[in-house]
């Protein structure tokens, strides 16, 4: 959520920043409603002061004695009128505050000062590439074809028991998925992340705090009878562990990793990636989440990107790192790097991790603050997250990049201890 004070004090800056994003965002209704609310607030303060003044006057006159009873009654009548007016103002203020908050929830984060300005993904900036020497040079079958040939994946049976965009992994396919999860968790916990196994169902407040609601309601699966939603990413429950808390600055940064299944409707993606492991309604992911001091935010962001890249390097999977421009930023991100893994069958790079710095955007929505020892007041933390990695897409990359001319698939060396084999 954007800082209302920033919108009030520097609306031109907010408009300028929002204009660099892909979309049209109007802050004028918020400015107008805030002016109305502040006007009511001033009137309420004036009336409260007058009410207190009247109470004192009535007490003084009654104590003095001999004062005209009519004068005292007139003061009492005025006091009652003040109370009645204050009673009317309270719900008006409450309604204006609710309207302002509802509008604030629809606004995306402001791009960071160092985020490249651009209109869409065509103006993203490539930061680096890694692993070109590991790209296979022979003809490659798409990962879903080789997986079905090897008997480790079935989309037909998964569709029968669920619907399209679900898969069932069998035998070595299930073991490979489990091995990838184990590798990712082992590497990230060794890098200093505390593992979390969070709930897979979260309430509306949790999705709102991290920015999925109200904007992405159609992307999520909801259990309407219980006000619960299946998580689209572990970012939601892990970040919300600290919702409505005041943390000690001495305990920052907090670094968590979490393996969870994730669930997304993929609304609006009709006809895209209908085969394979790239765009599913249910998929596994290891997520990295950080709660940090604003002063170390950028440093922690760069480290998070490196932690995600380390998994790709350990697997010797070619990838590139892209810095997203303002027009391609996610809703809550101020700055973001995408890691894109090489898929040789398609001859292209595909996103496998999105590493975002949200600044205090999620912290404001979730009311996550910290306090410095010996200082008055509190500040909002900064939150960061990134996939470390999307497991299904990692498997797709392994099946293609490690595919051999004879139709077998070699197992990356770092996964062999998990699987107890060197080839599929």
**Which residues are the active-site residues?**
264, 279, 351, 354, 393
Return the exposure string of 339-365: e unless at least 16 CB atoms fall within 10 Å of the residue's CB, then b.
bbbbbbbeeebbebbbbbbbbbbbbbb
User: How buried is residue 89: exposed, middle or buried, by Cβ count under 10 Å (0-12/13-18/19+)?
Assistant: middle
Phi, psi (rounded to 5 degrees) for 85: -65, -40
What whole-number distance in Å separates Cα of residue 298 and Cα of residue 42?
40
Residue 423's closest CA among 141, 146, 47, 23? Answer: 146
Task: Give me the phi and psi of 330, to 5 degrees please.
Answer: -65, 165
CA distance 408 to 33: 64
């Amino acid at each position: 959520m954007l800082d209302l004070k920033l919108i009030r004090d520097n609306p031109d800056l907010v408009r300028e920043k929002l204009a660099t994003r892909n979309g049209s965002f109007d802050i004028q209704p918020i400015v107008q409603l805030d002016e109305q609310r502040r006007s009511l607030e001033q009137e309420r303060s004036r009336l409260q002061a007058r009410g207190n003044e009247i109470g004192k006057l009535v007490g003084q006159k009654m104590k003095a004695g001999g004062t005209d009873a009519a004068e005292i009654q007139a003061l009492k009548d005025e006091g009652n009128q003040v109370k009645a007016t204050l009673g009317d103002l309270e719900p008006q203020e409450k309604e204006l505050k609710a309207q302002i908050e509802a509008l604030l929830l629809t606004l995306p984060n402001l791009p960071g000062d160092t985020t490249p300005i651009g209109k869409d993904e065509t103006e993203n900036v490539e930061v680096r590439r890694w692993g070109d020497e590991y790209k296979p040079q022979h003809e490659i079958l798409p990962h879903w074809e080789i997986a079905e040939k090897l008997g480790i994946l079935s989309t037909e049976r998964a569709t029968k028991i669920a619907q399209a965009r679900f898969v069932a992994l069998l035998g070595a396919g299930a073991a490979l998925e489990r091995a990838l999860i184990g590798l990712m968790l082992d590497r990230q916990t060794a890098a200093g992340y505390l593992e979390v196994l969070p709930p897979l169902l979260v309430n509306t407040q949790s999705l709102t705090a991290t920015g999925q609601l109200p904007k992405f309601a159609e992307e999520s699966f909801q259990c309407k009878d219980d006000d619960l939603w299946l998580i689209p990413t572990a970012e939601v429950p892990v970040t919300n562990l600290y919702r409505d808390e005041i943390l000690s600055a001495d305990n920052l940064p907090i670094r968590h990793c979490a393996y969870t299944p994730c669930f997304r409707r993929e609304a609006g993606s009709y006809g895209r990636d209908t085969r394979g492991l790239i765009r599913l309604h249910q998929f596994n992911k290891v997520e990295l989440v950080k709660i940090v001091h604003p002063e170390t935010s950028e440093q922690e962001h760069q480290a998070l990107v490196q932690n995600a890249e380390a998994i790709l390097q350990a697997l010797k999977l070619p990838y590139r790192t892209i810095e997203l421009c303002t027009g391609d930023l996610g809703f809550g991100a101020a700055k973001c790097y995408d890691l894109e893994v090489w898929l040789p069958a398609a001859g292209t790079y595909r996103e496998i991790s999105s590493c975002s710095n949200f600044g205090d955007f999620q912290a404001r929505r979730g009311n996550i603050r910290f306090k410095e020892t010996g200082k008055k007041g509190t500040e909002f933390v900064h939150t960061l997250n990134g996939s470390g990695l999307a497991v299904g897409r990692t498997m797709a990359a392994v099946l293609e990049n490690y595919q051999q001319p004879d139709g077998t698939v070699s197992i990356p060396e770092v996964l062999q201890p998990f699987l107890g084999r060197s080839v599929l």
